[in-house]
Amino acid sequence: MKEFAKKYHDLLTGEYKGINLTRITTFEEFYQKQIVDSVLPLEVSKVFKKSIESTKVVVDIGFGGGFPILPLAYLYPDKKFVGFEARAKKAKVVQEIAQKLGLKNVKCYHHRVETINIDIPVVITFKAVGTIEKFLPLIKYREQTTVYFYKGPSFYELEELEPVEKKWKVVEELFYDLEGTDGRTLIGLKNKTVPRGTLKKEIKNLVNLSQLI
């Protein structure tokens, strides 16, 4: 993983320095706060690890500089990873970086989550995004969907899960240590029901995920 991280860091601080994909410049800090932060849930959460290993497709929303999508894709070359990013330049550059890192299982798109119809079973990751209450309702799903949010140590002071528990079941709530930080919180949720029947008009206008993998 450190060899992969070194190549990644060299690209971010060299060829793509002007894109501002990360504010972290030293390798050790980059490795800890971006790479380890992206993959540590695999070590501390059996629930998260089982979800990733049981799915065929992982979707990462708002990946920014490529986290956690690229480190996770490196560890699971047999899985398909699809990323959606609202900023076109970042989506384009992270796709280029994935190719230069030899990650053939990654596809990055300039799309917002609310424009995608999740028409296949997936695991979705959100890292360093807004509140759970804001983002969960944006997910348009037609199949089993498990969502994991990477959150900071103050999650319960800033957010609450009650507003989303009508439609989503909490499958993981875990606080864990990350060296050099005040800790992290992993929140996992799974949809309780799946819409059936004829697609609504707004769903018909969305892009099917199955067409993008």
Q: How many domains in the chain?
A: 1
0.85 cut: is pTM over it? yes
Range(s) of the domain holding residue 158: 2-211
For residues 52 and 78, the answer to whether their CB atoms sit within 8 Å is no
pLDDT tens figures, 155-186: 999 999 999 999 999 999 999 999 989 999 99
DSSP class of 200? P
- Count CA atoms closer than 13 A to 146's CA, side-chain side: 20
Q: Give per-residue pLDDT as tens, 179-203.
A: 989 999 999 999 999 887 655 666 6
State the pLDDT at residue 197: 61
Residue 91 CA: distances (Å) to CA of 17, 67, 114, 181: 15, 12, 16, 27
Q: pLDDT for 14-49, tens place per residue?
A: 898 877 777 777 999 999 999 999 999 999 999 999
Is residue 95 a contact partner of residue 88, using CB atoms and an 8 Å limit?
Answer: no
pLDDT digits (tens, 9 = 90+) for 60-84: 999 989 999 999 999 999 999 999 9
Provide Rg for the chain, Cα atoms. Answer: 17
User: What length is written for the chain?
Assistant: 213
- Output 130 or 119, whichever has higher pLDDT: 119
Q: Tell me, what CATH number does 37's domain have?
A: 3.40.50.150
